[in-house]
Amino acid sequence: MDLVIFENNKPLVMDEFREGRFDYVELASDVAETKFFQFLFGQQIVNRLAEHYPSPRERHHVPLWMYLCSQFSLRLHGQHSFHSYPLIIRAGGLIEALGPEVARREVDSESGNVTLDCAGFNERNLYPRQTPCDQDYLRKLARDTSPDELEDWYNRHVAEMYRELGAFDADGLFIADGTYLFVPDNERYEGSQKLLFDEHNHPVSKKQEQEMTKAQRARCCWRRHYKAVLLLHCDAAGERFVVVGVHVLREHESEATALWPLLDTFLSAVGRGVMKVLLLDRGFINGAQIGRLKQEQGIDTVIPIRGDMNLQEDVRGLMRLDTLWEDYQPRHRPPLPDVTAASHGLPPHPTTKKRERARQKTLAQQRAERARSSPPDPGRVREKTLVARFPGLTSWWECPVPLTGVYSRDIYADGHEQSWLLVTTNSDWSASRVRDHYALRTDIEERHRQVKCFWDLTRFHSTSWSLLVSQLVFVCLTYSLLQIHLLQQGHQELNRRTWPTGRRLLPDADRVIVYRQQYFAFFTLLEHMEMTLSLEGKARRRALAKARQLLHDSHPANPDAPHAEPAGPDGPAPYV
């Protein structure tokens, strides 16, 4: 058997191509989805997930790793209906990652139709397979998996795998949050409930409804929903947002009591020292549990306090003494890099600077005109924020450790103030640092919007409780693994973008491979276009003749394919 070796030599291939000489050209697909699955296979992530997956089957005619990969492929495309699996597997990048032993994608030379030839995983196939596994297999396995066991698998084994993959940074910042998952008004959704929500999707109590005006009540509506408690790991830069715990609540379950078992499961899986700071909202107020975290695990908690608690009265009393107030300036995250900028990292051109100065001047004039024509409401313009620190608070008798309070006063242009109190179990942090930590919770709303909108989280195609929990778990798993993949690839800034945007910005586009004798080279589409359009004279005629020859050879039975006809008065130059 003859062995032919090709060497990567871009300068040589470029020089030859500029003379119109090449042997063959093909397109190599290097898409982001294929890279993601290669990451999962390369680090044995799929096998480790399958090892502990709570399968309801005693025998598996299709391996569990194939089931997990199929779930990931559906979620990456924002599809939750298993009926869409044949289309997703045909167009997605999983086939390339699996290799020809599992499936091959073939393109008909005459019609251009794409067909899949899949080997399958058992000898029970009576007809040629179009997908590695059947969509009914995916649906039935997801439906039959116990929701409680699936959540425990994620909260225990998946969280431990995250730690082994280096998903947790040294700061150890974690956020617990409850979220609403809205569904159609169909009472067949198992465990769902209906509540009255305002225009901002906040639940409205009976007391709040009575205090509303007629116009405000008209903007409220009854919505069917589920509640879920999520435990998340983040960093100060917003470049990682890993979901490490999931629990979907049934009707009448409380998120305030559901968090702490979820937290204990995570801590038992990853060990001491991973979680260092826990950020909570008012819905999780529990002095005994907060004190236990500090005493047993060394975890500091930051949580706002309700206005009717004794701590508020104590701090207001201390404020009558000499209180040192400081002006709080929020810490702003650096903006995302503009990947569409034409400068490509070069210093701005003098003409560009001049245009930008003129643009900014025009914008300032427009803002001044708008301010004169419709001045802003002074009651909505916040002029400054003052914060003060009050250590050694012990009046919350349910909490066995002393607390440090940070009182915030938001002062508006019309003179009115809004104030609120944060407490933490850390006695050393400054007031500004406590506020900066709690400001990370604002990222939750944006991330939830990403997951719900761009990952189509709440589009539940089934009313089955097990399928609903399965969908939420696998969206969180795919979302988190994708972020870990981007972190390891050095593209952590893309974690702050939506998945469709990040997918377009990844440097994993198609490449053109040009062959010349025993050498080849990779070119981007624009590089290849620039070289082709730069050909002139004899080199252009030589390249055109070779391209027509290759086109005719690839479609010998196609009468419409162009032939190597003369390109000029003297005909094409002979290919050398």
Measure the CA–CA gap between 66 and 50, rounded to whole angstroms: 9
- The encoded tokens of residue 544 equal 């055109």
Q: What is the pLDDT of residue 144?
A: 96
Q: What is the pLDDT of residue 429?
A: 94
Query: Which residues share a beta bridge with 384?
Result: 411
- Per-chain mean pLDDT for the chain: 81
Q: How many CA atoms lie within 13 A of 184 on its CB side?
A: 7
Q: What is the pLDDT of residue 351?
A: 79
Residues 6 or more apart whose CB falls under 8 angstroms from that of 214 comprise: none
Whether the Cβ atoms of residue 209 and residue 220 lie closer than 8 Å to each other: yes
- Distance (Å) of CA 249 to CA 175, 242, 285, 298: 18, 20, 18, 28
Measure the CA–CA gap between 11 and 22, rounded to whole angstroms: 13
Q: What is the pLDDT of residue 13?
A: 87
Q: Return the C-alpha torsion angle 51, 503, 514, 95, nearest 10.
A: 30
- The encoded tokens of residue 561 equal 């394919």
Whether the Cβ atoms of residue 135 and residue 81 lie closer than 8 Å to each other: no
Measure the CA–CA gap between 241 and 278, rounded to whole angstroms: 14
Measure the CA–CA gap between 152 and 416, rounded to whole angstroms: 48
Is pLDDT at 560 greater than 70 in this prediction? no
Measure the CA–CA gap between 521 and 8, rounded to whole angstroms: 6
Average pLDDT over residues 245-260: 89
Q: What is the pLDDT of residue 126?
A: 63
Q: What is the pLDDT of residue 453?
A: 54
Which of 55-69, 196-210, 435-449 is least confident?
A: 435-449
Q: What is the pTM of this model?
A: 0.73
Reported as a single tens digit per residue, the pLDDT across 95-131 is 777 777 777 766 666 655 556 677 777 776 666 677 8
Q: Which amino acid is at 60?
A: H
The band of 1, judged by pLDDT with boundaries at 50, 70 and 90, is: very low
Whether the Cβ atoms of residue 237 and residue 439 lie closer than 8 Å to each other: no
Q: Which amino acid is at 173?
A: L
Q: What is the pLDDT of residue 493?
A: 55
Measure the CA–CA gap between 96 and 99, rounded to whole angstroms: 5
Q: What is the pLDDT of residue 447?
A: 61
Q: Where do the DSSP E strands lie in 235-275? A: 241-249
Distance of CA 164 to the CA centre of its chain: 20
SS3 of 281-303: the string is: CHHHCCHHHHHHHHHHHCCEEEE
Average pLDDT over residues 511-515: 77
